[in-house]
Structures are given as C-alpha cells and as structure tokens.
Amino acid sequence: MKILENVIANRSLSFIEASSGKSVPVGTLYRSLGLNPVEKGLIFLYNDNQLSSIEVLLNFYGTAHAIAILGQKLHPDFKERLEVEYRPKYIFDPSREELQGYSSREFSETIKIFVKEDYKPEVSIHPDIKILLSTSGTTGVPKLVKLSDESLYKNAVSILQYMPILESDVVPLNVPINFVYGFSIFTTNCMRAGKIVCTDKDIMQKAFWDEMEEYGYSTLGGVPYLYENLNRIGFFRKDSKSLRYMTHTGGVINGELRKTIFNYCHEFEKQFFAQYGQTEAGGRMAYLSTDGLLEEETSIGSPVHGASFEIDPETDELLFFHESICGGYANTLHDLASYEQPKVLRTGDTARRGQNGLYYITGRIKRIMKLFGIRLNLDEVEFILKNELEGNTFVCLNSNDKKIIVLYDNNEIDPQIITETIKNKLRINPQYVRTEHIETFPLSQNGKINYPLLQNLQHENI
C-alpha cells in the first residue's frame, strides 16, 4: 500500500472539516474504524469530500478491499444499477437512511456503513485492483476503470517531480475525489502538504471564498470552464494573498485566457500548471508550467516524469507510455477477477509534436465532422473562436455533417461575428453555420461541459 504508506509518513498532515473547523491528524484517522486488514471484498464509497468520506477511504485503503469511489449525488437509478451489478459487501452513503438487502452498522460515532446481509463472495477480486473510478457519467452503462495502488503511486511520484507542494500548504478538496483529477490532487497533497480541508463547496459559491479567507488556501484546481468563469467575474484582476499556485486539467485552456492567467501569475507571483490527463492513466499525463502559457498555440506541454508520448502516424492519435496505466475496465462484477495492464494507452485524442518538443492536442477522433467532404475538427473550431473572441466559451456541434452549430453563453456577443470569424479563418460559408445563444452550459458531474447532452438536445433542435 505505497500510497497509504507515504501518506502516513507525512506526520505533519492533518484533515480539517471546513464546516466546523475540526482538525484530525492523519495518525488517528487512517485506522479509526478498526477494520480487519486482510478481509477482502468490495466497498462502494459515495463521496461528498466531507471528513467522513475521507476517513472511510483511508481506513479501507489499508485493507485488502477494492474501493469504488463514486459521486454521492449520482442519480438513484444509476446507483441502483451499479449496486445490482456489483453487489458490494459494504456501501458508504450518508445520503440514504436504509438500503434493501443491507444492514446499517455503526463503525464509529460519526460513521455508519451499510453491510450486505448474508454476503457471500461470488468473485475473487484481483489483488492488484485497489481503486475503481467511473468514466460513464451518471446515466450510462456502469463502467469502472481498474487502478492499482502501484499505478496510482507511480503517477503521484511523477507529479511530485514538478508540483511545488510545501509542508505549509493548505489544500481544499474543491475537486471531488471520485474524479481521477480530484483523487490525484488528494493523494499528492496528502504525501507532501500540511493541511487538507474537506469541503463540498464549489468555487463558484460565495461560501467557498469565505472558507478560503478563513483557512488560507495555497492552491486551487479546476477544469477550463471554471477558469473561464473566474475570468468573467474578474478573479484575475486582484491578488489572493494565500494562493501560491493553480492547476487545471480536463481540456485545453484557450490562448486568450492563458495570456490573462500568465499576466496574473507574473503580477502577483503565482504559478500555474496546465495539465493533461485521463482516468485510465491515474490522473495527470503531461504538464505545462507558467512560462509555457505564452506559447502561440495551446499546448499540453511535456509528458510527466517517467512517461513518454508517441503519435500514431496513420491516425494522429496520441499514445501514452507509463507505469501508471490502468488494468482495464469493469462492466460487470466478474470483470473484477482480472487485471491486465497494457504498455500503451490509446488516448482517443489527436495531437502533434512541435519543433520545441511540446505536444499539442488537435482534437478528439470522435469530434471530426465532414462538411461537404471537408474534414473539420470541431475542437479546433472552438479553439479558434475562443482565441479570436476574448476567451469566451463556445461549444461546436455537428448537425448531420451539414452544418456547424455554435453555442455561446455570453449574450453580448454578436452572432454575426461568430460566423464571420469562421468564414475568415476556415473559409466556410456562413450559411453552413448556425449560432445559438444558451443561458448556461449544462455540466457533467466533474464540472466539464456536457457535450453528449448538448448533442442530444441538438437533435431536438435545442
């Protein structure tokens, strides 16, 4: 259990419950529930980033159990589908009072866990499976990524080579740990930082900034949409004294916003790390430090320590090599019996390598449309619009290979400027572009723009 061993070794580490200010040192938290360390099975942990969720995670991490970390706000139907399929021995879900087929057992004064009645192991779970994370959103077919302690540890060690974490740092869990990015923030900071603040507040809530003032957060993390919103509310115009550095992943930040963030970092002596990662690789696969923000084009930077990239010469797909790659997927309980780690991860992203050695994502293989025979990358169209139109948020969709649909949420934008920009940059006749103003973009559970939902709505004429 290398992750847990390194967390415990950080003796100055403590966890703070944001709502009450209660502080618990790691030494008393990770074995507070009196679990049997050799007992094997599966636990579903419906996480809300509160102190009790973290306590359950650390306690079970020290046992032979596999832990599926899931969002507590998942739709009840999705939870039920998962539980019927995997039939876990334990379920931690503070949002429910009772659960059919399970008994509620008090493991401490504050923690109750559902225990399956008449539990009988149906599958011998492969010993390398430590963490299971979902990639299929909230309504699709339950699909879990199988991650080992070793792969997670390798990824954490690679990140610690460049991340400037200090023992004095106070780190908010503003990114849910049931997302691989949030889990990566959690593990790396638990290994090096001094205080972890357990909070379920979102950065766009006033309560989050009150907590930041109270606890003095050293770092923030988020996806590009969050930084676009921070820019809109004027965050980058003034200093946040306690803040030392920021990180992002989950998409490429447009060039205009990168300049704004660079200027903010330069003026107020901050650092920013633009990162690229996927659940299948344990979190973060590449990074670009603050100076790289001034690259003319958007870049994901260089692979993390110990990793390498290659580009498939036929498809331009980015290939990733590292010991952090997962052991495959689970669609059923019986899929947990195996763990097969490939040497290469096919990312599904198209990319190119610049003369400067940095890598550039050019789109998703599945986000390619053909407009009257012309191959068009919708991600590239979005990048162009964001860079040309002051970093505003745009979403481009494919209308049956006959039109590009451009959605925007800033009602001050003249839609004619959008079509003119596409015409001038891509030589596409405006009659093949449809613009639609949208009040707010729907977001997925991990805070990214929900493209599948928008595409489905598009088929219903939005």
Q: Name the pLDDT band for 316 (thresholds 50, 70, 90).
A: confident
Give, in order, the Cα–Cα distances in Å from 375 to each of 331, 365, 378, 380, 401: 34, 11, 10, 11, 10
Least confident of 220-229, 287-296, 447-456: 447-456
Distance CA 9, CA 3 (A): 10
Q: Any residues with CB less than 8 A from the CB of 400 and at least 6 apart, and which?
A: none
| pLDDT mean over 235-245 | 96
* Distance (Å, whole) CA 172 – CA 221: 9
Q: Which segment of 22-31, 67-76, 129-138, 204-213 scores lowest on mean pLDDT?
A: 129-138
Over residues 432-459, mean pLDDT = 82
pTM for this model (two decimals): 0.83
CB 74 within 8 A of CB 99: no
Asked if residue 163 has pLDDT above 50, the reply is yes
- Round the average pLDDT of the chain to a whole number and report it: 91
Name which residue leads in pLDDT, 373 or 91: 91
Q: Which residues contact 71 (CB under 8 A, 6 or more apart)?
A: 46, 47, 134, 138, 176, 178, 445
pLDDT at 107: 97
Span of 125-134, 176-185, 206-215, 436-445 with lowest mean pLDDT: 436-445
The reported pLDDT for the residue numbered 139 is: 45
Quick check: 346 pLDDT over 50? yes
For 29-60, letters b (16+ CB in 10 Å) and e give bbebbebeeeeebbbbbbbbbbbbbbbbbbbb
- 226 pLDDT band (50/70/90 cuts)? confident
Distance CA 453, CA 457 (A): 6
Q: What is the pLDDT of residue 48?
A: 94
How much of the chain, in percent, has pLDDT values that exceed 90?
Answer: 69
| pLDDT tens digits for range 358-400 | 999 887 777 777 776 666 778 888 888 888 888 788 999 988 7
Query: Among residues 176, 187, 211, 205, which one has the least CA distance to residue 72?
Result: 176
Query: What pLDDT score does 138 carry?
Result: 45
Q: Is the pLDDT of residue 137 over 60?
A: no
